Amino acid sequence: MQNIIDRFISYVTVDTESNPNSETTPSTEKQWVLANKLVEELKSIGMQDVSIDDKAYIMATLPSNVEHEVPTIGFVSHFDTSPDFSGANVKPQIVSDYNGKDIVLNAEQNIILSPDYFKDLLQYKGQTLITTDGTTLLGADDKAGITEIVTAMEFLINNPEIKHGKIRIGFTPDEEIGRGAHFFNVEKFDAQWAYTMDGSQIGELEYENFNAAGAKITFKGKSVHPGYAKGKMINSMLVANTFISELPADEVPERTKGYQGFYHIHHLTGSIEETVLELIIRDHNQKKFEKRKEKIQKIARKINKKFAKQFGEDIIVLEIKDQYYNMKEKVLPVKHIVDIAEKAMRELNIKPIIKPIRGGTDGSQLSYMGLPCPNIFAGGHNFHGKYEYVPVESMQKAVEVIVKIAELTALPNFGLEEPKSKTKKRK
C-alpha cells in the first residue's frame, strides 16, 4: 500500500483548485503543474499513446494483450479540486491502525475529526487513514481516483499474465466547476464505455444522477436616504428575502436524501441597489426537474407583478441554465456495463452500494456525449472541506476493482452468468 500512499500524497500536495470565474480551460494555470506531471508519470510506467492537448485533457492507452476481439473500455478521473475550500499547501496526515476515536487534525485550532459526528469513520477502524491538517481540503476528490487508475495500469503492465482488452484512460481539468467534460474528445478517446472513479465510500456504484440547472437571480432596488425613504426606497436585499421565503423550506440539501430533489442557495451578495442570488436546482426525475425551474420563474413573475407600478420595470432578472442530465437514460440500454462492475466488486468481497448520485460527475455529461459512463467509488469522505479523509485500504480495493473489470471484459460474455445487453464491438 505504500506505493498508493506515496503516489496519492504526490498528487494532493500540488494545488489544482479550479476557478468558476475564469473563462480559460483549464480555469487555473496551476492545474498544468499536475497535468504535466501525470503525463510524464504515465510514460514512465509504460503507457502508450500518452497525450495532453492545449486544454490539459490527458489520454493514454494500455494495449490489449489478448488475440480475440474485446471491447475497448475506459477509466476517467479529474485532477482539479473544489474552489469551495482551499486546496493550497495541503499537508496530509497519516493515521495508521485507526483506533475508532477522535482524530486531532489541528491542535492549535482545536479541529477534531470525530466519529461522534462523522459516523462513517467507525467502519474503518484498524485501517490507515489519510486526513487533512485541518486548514485545507485533502483533494481525494478526485486525486484518489487518479491514484487508483495509474496504480491499476502500472499493475497490469507489470503483470502481463492478467488478460485484458484495450484500455483507455482520461484525466480532465475543471470538473469541480461543471466543465470537466466540455472539451473531452469522445471520438479520440474511442472507447465503447468507461467508468469514472469519482465516488465516495467503498462499494459505491452509481448510474443515476441529478438533472441539474443553475440560476442567477438579480434583484434591483432604489436607494434613498433612510430618513426620507417612506414610499420611495426599495431594498433589493429584502426583495431577495421575499423570493427565498417563497421557496419550499424543506426542499434544501440539508433536509433531503436519496431521490429527493432540492433548491440550494450557495451565494448571496447584495446592497440596497442590487442583490445577486445564485442557486442550483436538482432532481432525478425529469418532470419534477422541469417543474422546479417553472416554480422559480413563477415566483419571479409574482414579485415582478407586485412591484411593477412602484419600480416601473421588472425588479427581478432571472437567468436559468441547464448543467447536466440524469445519465440513467443513456446507461440503461447498455446495463451490462454496470453488471460487470457489480460482478467485479462481488468477486472481491466488496458489497456493492448501488444508489443514485446526489450530484453529478464527468460521467453524466460523457454519457450524453456518446460515452456511457457509470461511477465507481474512489474511497474518500467529507469532500470539499477540512474534514476530508480517505482510507488507504479503500483506494487499494478500487485498484483491484479496475483490474477485475479489465479481466472480466476480456472473458466471453464478460463473465456474466446470463446474456446481457450488447454493444457493437470495435477492433
- Which CATH number characterizes residue 21's domain? 3.40.630.10
pLDDT range class, residue 418, cuts 50, 70, 90 = low
**Residues 86 and 167 both lie in one domain:** yes
Predicted TM-score (pTM) of the model is 0.87
Residues 152 and 189 grouped into a single domain:
yes
* 117 within some domain: yes
- Residue 329, annotated ligand binder? no
pLDDT of residue 127: 98
Between 19 and 421, the more confident residue is 19
Select from 316, 425, 423 the least CA-distant residue to 372. 423
Mark whether 120 and 18 lie in a shared domain.
yes
E-assigned strand segments in 91-141: 93-95, 103-106, 111-113, 129-131
Nearest CA to 301 among 221, 236, 217? 217
Q: Which of 15, 175, 339, 407 is the catalytic position? A: 175
Known binding residue 176? Answer is yes
Question: What is the C-alpha separation between 152 and 197, in angstroms, rounded?
Answer: 12
Q: What CATH number should be reported for the domain holding residue 265?
A: 3.30.70.360
- Was 278 annotated as part of a binding site? no
**Of 80, 154, 208, 283, catalytic:** 80
Cis peptide before 142 (omega within 30 of 0): yes
Whether residues 268 and 296 share a domain: the answer is: yes
The reply to whether 78 sits in an annotated binding site is yes
Same domain, 139 and 219: no
Does the annotation mark 175 as catalytic?
yes
* pLDDT for position 357: 86
At 424 the pLDDT is 47
CA distances from 164 to 175, 252, 329, 373 (A): 29, 45, 28, 19
Q: Could you give the C-alpha distances from 322 to 198, 281, 319, 375, in angstroms and in order?
A: 22, 9, 10, 21
Kind plus residue range of the DSSP H or E element containing 282: strand 274-283
Q: Same structural domain for residues 230 and 103?
A: no
The tens digit of pLDDT for each residue in 127-149 reads 999 999 999 999 999 999 999 99
* Structural domain ending residue among the three candidates 305, 323, 341: 323
| Residue 182 domain boundaries | 2-209+326-415
Residue 161 is among the residues annotated as catalytic for this protein: no
- Shared domain for 337 and 391, answered yes or no, is yes
Looking at the domain assignment, is residue 254 inside a domain? yes
Residue 283 CB partners (closer than 8 Å, separation 6+): 210, 211, 261, 262, 289, 292
| Number of independent structural domains in the chain | 2
Same domain, 164 and 36: yes
Position 282 pLDDT exceeds 60:
yes
Q: Is 339 annotated for ligand binding?
A: no
